[in-house]
Chains A and B, each alone.
Chain A
Amino acid sequence: MNQASPLPPTAADPYARRAADCDVMLLLEGTFPYVSGGVSSWVNQIIRGFPEIRFGLCFIGSRPQDYGSPKYALPDNVVHLETHYIHAHLAAPKVVRSGGDARAFGRMHELHDMFRHPGVDSADQHHELTALLAELTPLMNDGQALDQEAFLFSKQAWDYLAQQYRTFCSDPSFVDYFWTVRIMHLPIWTLARVARNMIPAKCYHTISTGYAGFLGSLLKMQTGRALLLSEHGIYTKERKIDLFQSEWIRDNRNVFEKDASQIPYFRDLWIRFFEALGSLCYQASNHIVALYETNRLRQINDGAPAERTRNIPNGIDLPRLARLRAQRPEKIPPVLCLLGRVVPIKDVKTFIRAMRTVVTQYPEAEAWIAGPEDEDRAYAAECHAIADGLGLTDKVKFLGFQRIDELMPKIGLVVLSSISEALPLVLLEGFAAGVPGLATDVGSCRQLIFGLSEEDQALGAAGDVVGIAEPQALANAALALLTDPDRWHAAQAAGIARVERYYTQDMMFGAYRALYQDALGQQERAPRPAALRCPVKH
């Protein structure tokens, strides 16, 4: 697969990698290599797992100042890295007067109608929608009928916006509507530009829907190359939760206009925007991968064609972690360890609160929190304050980032108090190293602890599961496991058996190898489609 030699990274900047083409272009929104976390670790694992594939990375972020220096060293088989920020250039551009192309805007209106009124047969509808998008996308090039300037400054755009406002908007503020629509749609032109200028790749692999997924669907449309989608969480769902809680979205309705059961118009508009991006990506993807069954069903519910979906669970490097079992002491270490970033989604506060009860009943017990604290310093400070306030300064230890190889033999229980998880690697790593797990009932944690199929369940419970934000239940479950050696050893055995049978890295690589072969094979089989031409005369 090595065709063109990449430009070698300079000693001064090992991240300056440019190539003329690549095998797989990874589309990464807000993750590897600039953000640490589970998804980034997985991307790193995949790239290193396929040294024969030449990867390109396209990182999409919000603004440069939101990210620090890269958190991961780039593997040697990353031949290309480009970064794009969709909210980087929000300074007012020069206003260019124009009337606008009525026919092009008419076609755009048809596109919006399709999004607004999805047909009964989603496959047929997507066909039409894709055809229309394919027709309109070239018009977004600079100097064309639907370029960024036409969207921002043309008379047609103004008229269209005013008409849409009068027809659909239930919020009384036109000013807010005007700016919401502009700010919402601008990234589409940025992404269209990114797609136009991207180096050739044999296939594209997006790690989420959203902006990265939309870029993937544009690339698929533009090149005809295969698109893979691997979703760890469900992007649209997470965006939706963020949008529901956001305070920057205005609701200008007065007390008589407000209906408690109807969400504000602008919030709804944003949600529908991301749903549309997600739906486009699902329809464009050749293979749609979820980590576990619940998420796969959710994808189908959100518009993914069922026949293209599949589950590929995370896998871990079993031989490396299995070696750690020999280093474990005979006695169960009275140490509960939360491995993860100190951020609200991990609900570290609940873990600390639970420790108050654990320590009262089992004074030798200790809590270790092993993860970086720099992502949300205010939250980390709160966690320290709570530990101090509960008199747990000596019992709750904030260790910062730790190597799991050194940590695992010293701990008695891997604890996850998270509010949301997908398929947490730390639980699997704990199982492989001989440490049972205690997790909240989120994501696939129940499946990992108790098993999915009948055969899997027969292996036994590899720990316990409790409800979220329930410190007392967490404490009781931890005490039950740590103070009952028979139960603990049974959980350890079940964890080892489960991870060895279902969650190895080899299984995961095997599944992805098949997907990559299929995607790369499609490129060889299918002729490249003719370049998109602009169908509108102007």
Chain B
Amino acid sequence: MPNKAVLAALIGSACEAASLALLYQHDSSAAVVGLYLLLHLASSALFALTLAALMPQRYRHPGTWLLCYLLVFNFFMPLAGPLCTALALAVAALWPKDHAADHFETTDSPAFVTMRRREGSGFRGNRVRAQLSNLSTPLDERLNALVAIQNTPTRSSGDSLRNLLADPADDMRLLAYGILDAKEKRITQRIVDMRAHLLSVSDPETRALLHQQVAELYQELIYQNLVQGDLLTYSCDQMREHARASLAIDSDQPGLEFMLVRLELTSGNTVAAAAALQNAYEHGFSRTRLLPYLAELSYLERDFEQVRRLFIEMEFDPSVSSTPQLHRYWRHGRRNYAHRPDIARRGPT
């Protein structure tokens, strides 16, 4: 292969020399120009073959396109073309590509959690959790453990309770279901009552209040993790519908707009979330309290620079266990940002 490349290079050089010689004859007849172009094309093709053969293995594919590229390069840049290509090859050989980046794998985007500890991991909680999950623990003790967590908010205990629905012990399954059902029922019963009340009321002020309360109850169902799948979608729709119905009667409800912000962010509706954020701010909702949600919106929009700016603007709250790490990450990820006074603000100002 190297011999062929050398041969091609020699013939190519001869062709190129011959073509250059034709140029110095000061004859501009079509036949001479045509012969020059033919010889230059032949030399370009031979140089392309030579250079392609000298290419490192990883640059040789796709082969046809490489040859075409080198041919065109050599043809339109006589002499400079092959020289530049040879130079590029030397650079590639001396400073090879860093392949470390090829080993990265894509992962799911991180979800923000306000509570890092699992339920029951606090005071005596480990014992309760161990009793719940350990099937060899006597049934009575496991039942006692389940009773112990029945008054904790379902937002934190919901997963454990749902896991217990598949427990081999009938008593555990029944009690776990009963706890979940009772909590859901308590809220849904109030929703049914409120909706029935709505049908019998015509006063706009009362209707606005009732719509707001129904929306809040749906929000509670969602927040407490009591609805999943299709029912979660249904609850979100109902909450949105009632919140908007209330706002249509009385638009001056920044709290309700704020609730919509949270709903739309949960649902991933960035456009609706941005509109609700704007409305909440315009109706007097504190910008400081909106900042985390603005940051979340920017995050969903993949505007990470904006997330960083908003974090810099945000007050550090050491009482929320996850925020120190978040602040550290977003504020100091690129240090030069933290000291720039001219950061542009986005969103409601």
Contact = CB atoms under 8 A, between A and B. Distances in A.
A472 B127 contact: no
Contacts of B179: 245
Interface string B162-182: 100110001101110111111
B234 A467 contact: no
A261 B141 CA distance: 7
A344 B174 CA distance: 11
A308 to B, nearest CB: 23
Interface in A227-263: 237, 240-241, 244-245, 259-263
Interface in B108-132: 120, 123-125, 127-128, 131
Interface string B139-162: 001011111111000000000001
B229 A245 contact: no
A419 to B, nearest CB: 5
Q: Which of B131, B179, B234 has the most CB of A within 10 A?
A: B234
Contacts of A357: 230
A469 B143 CA distance: 20
A385 B192 contact: yes
Given A245-B182, A353-B230, A382-B192, A469 B177 contact: yes
Contacts of B229: 353, 471-472
Contact of A241 (B128, B171, B192, B230): B171
A64 B218 CA distance: 37
A181 interface: no
Contact of A468 (B131, B146, B149, B165): B165
A503 B165 CA distance: 29
Chain A contact patch, size range: 35 or more
B124 A419 contact: no
Interface in B208-254: 229-231, 234, 237-238
Given A237-B170, A420-B170, A378 B192 contact: yes
B interface majority secondary structure:
helix
A245 B171 contact: no
A467 B166 contact: yes
Given A356-B230, A468-B165, A260 B192 contact: no
B125 A260 contact: yes
Q: Closest 9 A-B residue pairs measured CB to CB?
A: A260-B148, A389-B234, A356-B230, A260-B124, A245-B178, A241-B174, A467-B166, A469-B165, A419-B177
Interface of B: 120, 123-125, 127-128, 131, 141, 143-150, 162, 165-166, 170-171, 173-175, 177-182, 185, 188-189, 192, 229-231, 234, 237-238
30 contacts: A241-B171, A241-B175, A241-B178, A244-B143, A244-B147, A244-B175, A245-B179, A245-B182, A259-B124, A260-B120, A260-B123, A261-B127, A261-B131, A262-B144, A263-B143, A263-B147, A382-B185, A382-B188, A382-B192, A386-B234, A389-B234, A420-B170, A420-B174, A442-B170, A443-B170, A468-B165, A469-B180, A470-B165, A471-B229, A472-B229
Interface of A: 237, 240-241, 244-245, 259-263, 267, 294, 344, 347, 353, 356-357, 378-379, 381-382, 385-386, 389-390, 419-420, 442-443, 467-472
